[in-house]
Amino acid sequence: MFSLKNKKAVITGGGSGIGKAISVLFAKQGAQVHIIELNREAADGTVQEITSNGGEAVAHVINITSQEEVNKVFQLVGKPDILVNNAGIAHVGNIEQTSAADFDRIFSVNVKGTYHCLSAAIPMMKENRGGVILNLSSIAAAVGLSDRFAYSMSKGAIHAITLSVAKDYLHHNIRCNCISPARVHTSFVDGFIAKNYPGKEAEMFDKLSKSQPIGRMGTPEEIAALALYLCSEEAGFITGNNYFIDGGFINLNN
């Protein structure tokens, strides 16, 4: 079950965190993984981990805010069977603390970057008579989170994009879903805590962990497992859906 053998998967932001976990798992399940990443060192690290374990992976170092760069990479990669739009950046602040430059930066990476990849991949998937797209949204698209104005905006857009693409390409055998995680323990979280709460790292980590009713943060590997299912043939009847993977945050946090 959940084999991706002979599948070509393009994964953005595959150098670290959730994207890395998805890349490693997809390669383990037999996919030829193409990592699109801004950070060369991170991308090469994921590729090395995959290839050292017998998997197949290639790194493509570009900026997804450039449609020209994205189009060139997809022409090089060829027709993808799977596209995972994972790359994204965060911003902390309410609307008064979000400058126009901050807003544009978040939109350019999280929304336009996804648009660029979709625009490049979908015509190829149509030629290929099918494909699977998975977008990474967030619980921030569904609930009010303090000081996440621009980030929430971008993830709400990702949810809407998912529904639109799923609807428009039903008859082209292209499925499109999204995942909405709550807080996941990655290096970004550790860096955020260290930067904003020096000397109180352990206290803040515990507080952030307990904001999920289950009592801890998720792991990148848990997100990757859901991604694998949704991109596998076993999920062939699923499209146009958003999956919360949140330790009970949405429904039990009361």
**pLDDT class of 213 with cuts at 50, 70, 90:** very high
List pLDDT tens digits, range 131-177: 999 999 999 999 999 999 999 999 999 999 999 999 999 999 999 99
**What mean pLDDT do residues 48-77 have?**
98
| Percentage of the chain lying above the pLDDT 90 cut | 92
List pLDDT tens digits, range 93-125: 999 999 999 999 999 999 999 999 999 999 999
pLDDT score, position 254: 63
Sign of torsion over alpha carbons 103, 15, 68, 140: negative
Domains in the chain: boundaries: 8-182+218-243
| Percentage of the chain lying above the pLDDT 70 cut | 100
Tokens encoding 189: 């979280």
Sign of torsion over alpha carbons 164, 124, 88, 207: positive
CA–CA distance, 138 with 152 (Å, rounded to integer)? 8
- pLDDT at residue 29 tops 80: yes
| pTM, entire model | 0.95
The one catalytic residue in 151, 169, 197, 243 is 151
The CATH architecture assigned to 8-182+218-243 reads 3-Layer(aba) Sandwich (3.40)
243 is catalytic: no
List pLDDT tens digits, range 173-206: 999 999 999 999 998 888 888 887 899 999 999 9
For 47, 76, 126, the CA distances from 52, given in Å and listed in that order, are: 8, 24, 34
pLDDT score, position 187: 86
